[in-house]
Structure 1
Amino acid sequence: MQITLPRIGTVAAWRQQVRKLAAAGIDPQAVIWSVGAAAPDLFATAAPAPGVATPLMLSLEAVDGIEMALLHSDPERFSRAHALVLRLSKREVRWGDRSDPLMRRLLDQQKAVGREIHKMHGFVRFREVSPPGANRRAFAAWFEPDHPVLEAAAPFFARRFGDMDWLIATPTLTARCEAGEMRIEETEARQPPPKDAAEELWRVYFASIFNPARLMVKAMKSHMPQKYWKNLPEADLIPDLIRSAETRVRAMHDPSAPAPETLPGGRMRKKLR
């Protein structure tokens, strides 16, 4: 049995389908899940033979955790969650029991999705795209998440930037907020917006808060993974800031040592005696 979920509202659509499947007693192994347009499966059937219905009874914590894990990019996540919902309802496994391989995999994916949402909140960089004479300022951003988390992450921006118009585009979906109303739509223009004057503000800010005495490159790359750097205007400063860190620390402790001079754009060079 082949079920194709929409790209927008994927989790809600999956939830509705699982209720129907559980009521019909359909085995999770008899269902093929996909998102968006899917190629037909030669072995798929219109409706597998029904079995014994399973009443769905899950804790709120389990529901929230499963729906979070469904935002992972793993193509098997829908089938795995379907099977786990039935097992939880039958009391065959307890929510949070990491000794169960299926549960452990889902919990790990829930955690990965939570990290991705957190990174999106921190690493989206808006660029101004206000048309001439507009009454409200407008901003646009491009972000490339590892997992389809836009629908879960976008309300944060709606609460914080409700007084301006903005959009955040990802390779698949775009969140658009106009006059305080937010909507999700499929992405049409799969490219970053043009650069604006705020690019240099990000660079100046990042250079000013960079503390060479507390530099730990491994920790920095853990909190600010390199996969995000290509869309961060301040990221091209990082190699020079790392290279000059030792010299700057020596200058902080030894006033007679050559101090680095800040060049336009935040780059460093040594002063010559």
Structure 2
Amino acid sequence: MWRDHARRLLKHGVPPERVEWRVRSAQDDLFAEGEAVADVAAGAGGTVRRDCLGLLRRILCHTSEDRFALAYRVLWRSLRQPDLLRVATDPDIAAAGYLARQIRRDVHDMKSYVRFREKRSPGSNMRHFLAWYEPEHHILELVAPFFSGRFTDMNWLILTPKGSIAQDDAACVVTREVCVRETVEDETEQLWHTYYRSVFNPARIKLKAMRSEMPRRLWKNLPETDLIPEMLVAAQRRDFVP
């Protein structure tokens, strides 16, 4: 884990310019647990501020190849410059802020656009729900508490190309094994399609605004958006009927 390597480097006083970071596996990407972040600078002769620790955590959730080197530079310098994070014009802080903003947006999108479908198991009375989502970054640990706290009355599983989040009874488990999409179409989705067609108003659709608010890559996984092109074409045909 990055945390273990960083702690060891700090303990031996190794400056950032003498370190070359390489990604070995997905398991190297993140802090192991949120509560363990605070001990990253143990033995380094300094204290890392809470806001710096939060920034480091977000940096390491990013997919940028430079995230490890950037995080270590920020950590190293923050131990020597306690007010470093306040210097918005600093190149490292500006770069870290940019990555952090992308992580916040990715977290927001996943909370907003995950759609569960019921998956029925033959011979079982238990209700299970399944979702497929494609986050841009390694954010599963960040969003897991949100889903666990919101969907407490059902068992569910969120599959992604970067891992999965599962809740079974009271336990919420995050894994980082690459998942394959499972196609599930339930009765609720068909009802939603019927409802969406009935309330669709082409005059109120602003595609440019939709694309700016909701990335196009997410459209294919939402039950409502796959209907929009079809209904827009149908509306245009009606408008031009002589």
The alignment's TM-score, normalised by the length of structure 2, stands at 0.81
Equivalence for 2:9: 21
Work out the CA distance in 2 between the residues paired with 1:188 and 1:84: 30
For residues 241 and 182 of structure 2, the distance between their equivalents in structure 1, rounded to whole angstroms, comes to: 40
Counterpart of 1:232, as a letter, is: L
The one of 24, 33, 37 equivalent to 2:22 is 33
- Alpha-carbon distance in 2 for matches of 1:106, 1:189: 29
Which one of 179, 200, 207 corresponds to residue 169 of structure 2? 179
Going from structure 1 to structure 2, the CA distance change for 1:209 and 1:112 (only over 3 Å counts) comes to farther
1:77 partnered with 2:47:
no
Q: Which deviates more, 66-75 or 214-223?
A: 214-223
Contact 1:140 1:193 in 2 (8 A): no
Deviations 1:42-61 (A, max 9, x none): xxxxxxxxxxx843422212
Whether 1:239 aligns to 2:232 is no
Residue 64 of structure 1, CA deviation: 1.0
CA spacing shift, 1:62–1:207, aligned 2, 3 Å: farther
1:165-212 Cα distance to aligned partner (Å, 9 max, x none): 111111121111111211112336412332222322343454466554
1:134 aligns with 2:159: no
Query: Residue type matched to 2:104 in 1?
Result: G
Q: CA deviation at 1:244?
A: 6.4
**Structure 1 residue aligned with 2:209:** 219
Unaligned runs of 5+ in 2: 28-42
Tell me how far 1:234 sits from its aligned partner.
1.6
The alpha-carbon deviation at position 272 of structure 1 amounts to 7.8
Task: Tell me: CA distance 1:59–1:207, structure 2 relative to 1, closer, same or farther (3 Å).
Answer: farther
CA contact (8 A) 1:169 1:187 kept: no
Amino acid at match of 1:146: E
Distance 1:57 1:202, change over 3 A: farther
| 2:93 aligned to which of 78, 103, 108 | 103
* Rounded Cα–Cα distance in structure 1 between residues aligned with 2:137 and 2:11: 30
Contiguous gaps of at least 5 residues in structure 1: 6-13, 39-52, 248-267
RMSD of aligned alpha carbons: 2.8
Aligned pair count reads 226
Do the aligned residues in 2 keep the contact of 1:22 with 1:56 (CA within 8 Å)?
no
Separation in structure 1 between the aligned mates of residue 68 and residue 227 of structure 2, nearest angstrom? 41
Q: In structure 2, how many angstroms separate the alpha carbons of the residues matched to 1:188 and 1:35?
A: 15
Tell me the amino acid that sits aligned with residue 76 of structure 2: L
What are the Cα deviations for residues 129-149 of structure 1, in whole angstroms up to 9, with x where unaligned?
A: 121232321011111111111
Task: Report if the CA contact (8 A) 2:132-2:221 is conserved.
Answer: yes
Structure with higher helix content: 2
1:26 Cα deviation from its structure 2 partner: 1.6
Number of the residue aligned with 2:159: 169
- 2:218: which partner in 1? 228
Counterpart in 2 of 1:156? Answer: 146
Q: Do 1:206 and 1:234's aligned partners in 2 also have CA atoms closer than 8 Å?
A: yes
Name the CA shift for 1:224/1:133 in 2 (closer, same or farther; >3 Å): same
Letter in 2 for 1:159: G
The reply to whether residue 196 of structure 1 matches residue 186 of structure 2 is yes
Q: What amino acid is the match of 1:147?
A: H
Distance 2:7 2:221 in 1: 40
What is the letter of the counterpart of residue 28 of structure 1?
P
Conserved 8 A contact 1:164-1:180: no
Distance 1:210 1:101, change over 3 A: farther
Conserved 8 A contact 1:56-1:86: no
Encode CA deviations 1:223-258: one digit per residue, 9 max, x unaligned.
12211111112212222444567x7xxxxxxxxxxx
Task: Tell me the amino acid that sits aligned with residue 15 of structure 2.
Answer: D
